[in-house]
Amino acid sequence: MEIKELLNGVIDERELDYRVLIGEEGASKPPLIPFFNLIPALNLMHRHLVHGGSVLIHADVDMDGLGAAKVVREELSALGFKDIKTCINSKREHGMNPQIVSHVNSKKPSLFIVVDSSSNDLEYIKALECDVLVLDHHIVEHNEYSGKTAGGEYLIINCMIDNKADGYEADEDMSGALVAYEFFRQYEDRVDRHYLEGLKLYQWVGVTLISDIIRTGNARNQWYIERTINETELRDELRVLMRVLNPNEKRLTRSFIAYKLVPAVNKAIRAGATAVALYVIMAHPEEAYKLEVYGKYQPKVNDIPKRVVRIENGIGIVDLGELNLAVNVLGLAANYTGLVAAMVMRKHNCSAIAYVRETDSEGNTIFRGSFRGRAHGLPYKEVATKYSIMAQGHTNAFGIRVLPSEISRLTGALGISESAYRYKPYCTMYPIREDLRGRHFKDLGELREGKKLLYLGIANSRLSSDEQINVTMESKNLVLTEEHTNYYKYEIDGYEVTAFERVKTEFVDIYFEYGEYLRGYVRARHDSF
């Protein structure tokens, strides 16, 4: 089997040559993006630069929001802005709120830049006493893309808005940081200044493409990934973050971002320490150890009693109000719904919903929480939105806000979709039922022939988790060799692979990734294909 055939499940119709994916050719620099509102937004930016006004940046409460704020702040400083400040919500709450409005108006910036959120927060935007620029990638639920604020004007730059005049179609495969970077690429092109590449700010875009699980199997995003993953010349703060969070890492790998950096940031944010996350990422990476301290709130979350889980239409459901968690006392339970749903998925081998009960302004009970899907490649979020369920996030990991009466409708739709879905862009090894075979190899040795395994590892390091090709087999083919507190070592055909939990499922995925060397990781496979 040729390497091109092996990889075609992730490169078909994605405008990406497999030679780029495996590193034989470099990705071409992407063309400039003609965003809707681009010209007036560029004019707004230039006017504030010429007049030397003050700028306040609002970062969303996740890695993408922090990365986008980093891109904007560094670029503004390079362009010559002298008075630049950054703020973040005090709670794990996306977008704007009355407190932010009050804070901004008290600081009296000439320009307020919101990154990675707030495209739909017009009520709050219009109450601001300054000019406002929104740089975002979330779905826009209105058509008021510009207008007046209490003290100026607002403009929304969002990749999800079509620009029919210039033939630009909405693009969901962008992070908030990528939108910010591409906007400033346009500005640099207009004023003939070039700082973004020299400052290597594209590396923060690469980080956020991975942290936000954005599809990277396209030519544009590969340009960013190629200059971030396994890159030896890193921005200083990224190198420091690696040194603090994982001293053994020599290169910036996809796994470090996904399993070290992002979880560390999320621990602080879930615990309500959003200011600490901002402090570390924006200016003090050497103090990244402070982020992991907040993991002390998570042990009880990880120990979910089975009695609180009910299965409805094949979907596990947890009401966090029924859990005896330390975080409940702190009023932070809502911040842990995603983590709880993931734990339920692993413990009960089913997709899961975890929620808290809230009361809306009209006195109605609302369930607010998170969904995590077990099936590889199933478009869960599309299913939810098709049934008019408010879902925000990624394909198989998103937040929900539903009425109690809508839970059964949601689980029913998701359960039916799971039972009908079959996904096969994966490899299989060893004796396995004919109807379960993907791109089949008899053993690991056969997969190694012709550098297929190496190329697979290189490709996976450049792809989002939704696009990667895993190697699936029955778990009985693995031999446990080492057992540690936080990880396990297994052997397959003399090759050592790592798991972060004891393998208990019938099938497993082996995920190969290339950094300094080829690494293999074992993941429990929670679906049955």
The tokens of 422 are what?
A: 């079959």
| pLDDT at residue number 206 | 98
> What pLDDT band is residue 465 in, cutting at 50, 70 and 90?
confident
Mean pLDDT across 31-37 = 97
DSSP label at residue 436: G
Residue pair 320/328 in contact (Cβ under 8 Å)? The answer is: yes
| pLDDT at residue number 299 | 63
> What pLDDT band is residue 326 in, cutting at 50, 70 and 90?
low
pLDDT tens-digit map of 431-459: 998 888 888 999 999 999 999 999 999 99
> What pLDDT band is residue 392 in, cutting at 50, 70 and 90?
confident
> What pLDDT band is residue 382 in, cutting at 50, 70 and 90?
confident
| pLDDT at residue number 87 | 97
The beta strands (E) that lie in 394-516 are given as 397-402, 427-429, 439-441, 471-474, 479-483, 488-492, 495-499, 507-514
> What pLDDT band is residue 13 in, cutting at 50, 70 and 90?
low
Average pLDDT for the chain: 90
Identify the burial level of 353 via C-beta atoms within 10 angstroms of its C-beta, where 0-12 means exposed, 13-18 middle and 19 or more buried. Answer: buried
| pLDDT at residue number 323 | 67
Report the range of poorest mean pLDDT among 31-40, 122-131, 362-371, 376-385.
376-385
> What pLDDT band is residue 14 in, cutting at 50, 70 and 90?
low
> What pLDDT band is residue 91 in, cutting at 50, 70 and 90?
confident
Is the dihedral angle over the CA atoms 231, 232, 237, 238 positive or is it negative? Answer: positive
User: In the chain, how many H helices and how many E strands?
Assistant: 21, 20
Distance CA 105, CA 160 (A): 29
Mean pLDDT across 267-296 = 93
**55-59 and 111-115 strand pairing:** parallel
Mean pLDDT across 489-515 = 92
Is the dihedral angle over the CA atoms 99, 103, 108, 113 positive or is it negative? Answer: negative
Mean pLDDT across 373-396 = 83
| pLDDT at residue number 379 | 84
Q: How many CB atoms lie within 10 A of CB 382?
A: 11
pLDDT tens-digit map of 157-173: 999 999 999 999 999 99
What domains does the chain contain, in order, with CATH numbers? Answer: 38-195 (3.90.1640.30), 298-420 (3.10.310.30), 424-524 (no CATH)
> What pLDDT band is residue 248 in, cutting at 50, 70 and 90?
confident
| pLDDT at residue number 168 | 95
pLDDT of 329 over the 60 cut: no
| pLDDT at residue number 207 | 98
Mean pLDDT across 377-403 = 84
The tokens of 460 are what?
A: 């996976």
H or E element: which one contains 221? helix 219-226
Q: Looking up tokens 């207008």, which residue turns up? A: 147
Distance CA 461, CA 439 (A): 20
pLDDT of 424 over the 60 cut: no
| pLDDT at residue number 330 | 62
Share of the chain above pLDDT 70, in %: 94
> What pLDDT band is residue 346 in, cutting at 50, 70 and 90?
confident
Q: How many CB atoms lie within 10 A of CB 66?
A: 30
